[in-house]
Amino acid sequence: MSLLRLDKYISNTTGESRSRIKEILKAGRVKVNGETVKSGEIKIDESKDEVMLDSKPVVFERYRYFLLNKPAGCVSATKDKLSDTVLDILKNENTADLFPVGRLDKDSEGLLLITNDGMLSHELLSPTKHVEKVYRVVLDKELEEDDRLKIENCIDIGDDKPCLPAVVENLGNKEAEIKICEGRFHQVKRMFAAAGYQVLYLKRIAMGSLRLEDDLKCGEYRKISIDEIEKLRRRV
């Protein structure tokens, strides 16, 4: 049985501050199992207790999952003094405890998982799990076949050890897709740089079983279903 203090239950669900929740409770706007409750200290069993705020149900979600099509110009962080963060895009959601899983560079775009599920994040980012990530890039020149093979076959980017094998598809018109199962600092850009290419544009299009849909525009996001999360968990 999982028990939470009422004020924490409401805070986690609505994103309201504890001080604001104290005011809401004092005003008699909260009912638990049909009874008005003014103390935030009582314990709630999230599996069976019914909590109502202004006659509307407050449904607790222990973990929340969002798929964001990250735009360029914002940073993959929860706070930043100079730039907008990916959480600013989710300002209409309860962002308490949310964080991006991994990161995309400020000038990069594409798929970013945002959640408060620390265990899933750890599994997805663990080098031992080899979770595949797919990126589409635009290069400064056409990709030669010899260089494509170099990038695929454990290219050295100056770290302690070479990269793990990758899969690179030449799409033509200076575009390519690359599939990797690591997450080193600026890895994709450094892999192409080691072969003599500059990445002018980078977009992540897949991570594990999650894939960026064509109808999710840059800067938009959606909730991820429980079925999608279970499928993602099975991959790790």
Catalytic machinery residues: 105
How far apart are alpha carbons 167 and 149 in whole angstroms? 9
Q: Determine contact, residues 14/94, Cβ cutoff 8 Å.
A: yes
SS3 per residue for the chain: CCEEEHHHHHHHHHCCCHHHHHHHHHCCCEEECCEECCCCCCEEECCCCCEEECCEECCCCCCCEEEEEECCCCECCCCCCCCCEHHHHCCCCCCCCCEECCCCCCCCEEEEEEECCHHHHHHHHCCCCCCCEEEEEEECCCCCHHHHHHHHCCCCCCCCCCCCCCEEEEEECCEEEEEECCCCCCHHHHHHHHCCCCEEEEEEEEECCEECCCCCCCCCEEECCHHHHHHHHHHC
CA 195 to centroid of chain Cα atoms: 30
How far apart are alpha carbons 110 and 216 in whole angstroms? 10
